[in-house]
Amino acid sequence: MSDHGVHTDPAALADLSSAAEHEHAAATPSGAVTGYDADRTLRFGVELRRQFRRRRTHLVFGIAGLVPMLLVLAFELGSDSPERESGGFIDLATTSAPNFVVVTLLISGSFLLPMMVALFFGDTVASEASWSSLKYLLAIPVPRLRLLRQKALVAGALSALALTVLPGVALLAGMIWYGADAAISPTGESASFGASLVSLLLAVGYIVVQLSWVAGLAALLSVSTDAPLGAVGGAVLATIISLMLDQVTALGELRAVLPTHHATAWTDVLAAEVDWSAIATGAFTSLCYATAFGVLAARTFSRKDITS
């Protein structure tokens, strides 16, 4: 998961250490460099620009924009359903732009969306360790918890943006190919284009919150290993295992504690009368997992012996 040229860029390292660099620095009685301010190290804007320049970021956003176009191509090459306004969500994909967005999210939700979040969060600290630049960041010094927090904030911003870009591109493509018509649900209910946009915004918001558990787990794995691919792959593997276990009906009510059990609860906001129970439960469960993983990540990183 390395991006050669990013971590060795002198300008980037100068930005990261700008708060600690002074031409005439002098030590204070406490041992700190005169003028040093921990709150000015690894600033959000600097780290965000740094991550935006990485090939990994370009790849994720490229995929987010490409997937809707591939789905349009697939539906154009495929045969139309004889009953275009009936059936499940997949059968209704080409009836309107909102329907196309719903299908795009459904198809992407089980693997692509979690993978994008895992890429941003699993690559936070592990990539710096793999480049052997982590110890230099801490030597500036950037406080450990601040480093982890700033990395997580940037990863969260990029993840939320990527999770918004995908349905945004799908909506634009749907409007071009299928028109800005009313959304039709599998039950035959219809909603105006404007009302469906509000529902889709709520759906995307829920997806961002629901995938917070993937972010927390990926961050925990990122501070536990020096291999970015291991952190990313571990989070994706955990998602796949959770999805598999959720299909085992013999587990009964135990499936409710799985982080992916309510992954598709966002479809409830598309109904005429929204039932918020599954959405609230899914959001609460994911936030509990994210909080637990985040605390463990902070604890692990604060005690880790940094050698790279």
pLDDT of residue 27: 42
pLDDT (tens digit per residue) in 196-215: 999 999 999 999 999 999 99
Q: What is the pLDDT of residues 266-299, one digit of tens each?
A: 999 988 889 999 999 999 999 999 999 999 999 9
Phi, psi for residue 33 in degrees, rounded to 5 = -70, 140
pLDDT at 80 over 70: no
Identify the band that residue 28 occupies on the pLDDT scale cut at 50, 70 and 90. very low
Q: In whole angstroms, how far apart are CA 104 and each of 55, 109, 194? A: 24, 8, 19
Check residue 234 and give its pLDDT. Answer: 97
The confidence score (pLDDT) of residue 181 equals 92
Tally of CA atoms within 13 A in the half-sphere of 294 that contains its CB: 18
> What is the H or E stretch that residue 170 is in?
helix 144-177
Q: Residue 39 — very low, low, confident or very high, per pLDDT cuts 50/70/90? A: confident
121: which 2 tokens?
């969060």
Contact between residue 276 and residue 293 where contact means Cβ atoms under 8 Å apart: no
What pTM did the predictor assign?
A: 0.86
